[in-house]
Amino acid sequence: MSSCFFIGHRDAPDELYAALRKAVAEHYALYGVDSFTVGMYGHFDCLAAKAVIDLKKRCPVRLSLLLPYHPFDRPIEAPEGFDDTFYPPGMESVPKRAAILRANRYMIAHSDYLIAYDRGQVGNTRDLVAYGRRREGLGLMGVTNLAGSER
């Protein structure tokens, strides 16, 4: 089966939830995605997790919480609705200020699909989606940008 990661702006609007639910269901039904990973910072991450948790009620999918900081520094158990947590290998020596970006980049490099909400604003979301698009151009992943009409 396949894996999917989410990346988006922390101030994503609530109205995005319907599009996220649809995208998650399509990735499961059309692309065989059975494993989703989401971060824990910002409203987009909350909406994405909620959409996967909703799908879990009907379909056998897994939801993992991405941990950008070493679990020994800040022990975190998987929140309700999540199956587990994931801390990318090799992150122990990454400075805290760079940890979220590095963890997100790792997930994009190791996922089959990316569901994004990138409005094209300068910042990490734009850069990470561009990285995903480059991988997509090489046939390494599929990218869905839910902000496509806003750009």
How many domains does the chain contain in total? 1
Q: How far lies 134's CA from each of 5, 7, 139, in Å?
A: 16, 15, 9
In a domain, 81, yes or no: yes
Model pLDDT for residues 86-98, shown as the tens digit of each residue? 999 999 899 999 9
Can you give the pTM of this predicted structure?
0.93
In a domain, 113, yes or no: yes
Model pLDDT for residues 35-76, shown as the tens digit of each residue? 999 998 899 999 999 999 999 999 999 999 999 988 775 667
Range of the domain at 93: 2-135
In a domain, 99, yes or no: yes
Looking up residue 68, the CATH number of its domain turns out to be 3.40.50.450
In a domain, 14, yes or no: yes
In a domain, 142, yes or no: no
The pair of structure tokens assigned to 100 is: 């979220």
The pair of structure tokens assigned to 7 is: 């990346």
In a domain, 150, yes or no: no
In a domain, 127, yes or no: yes
Cα gap 83→75, rounded to integer Å: 16
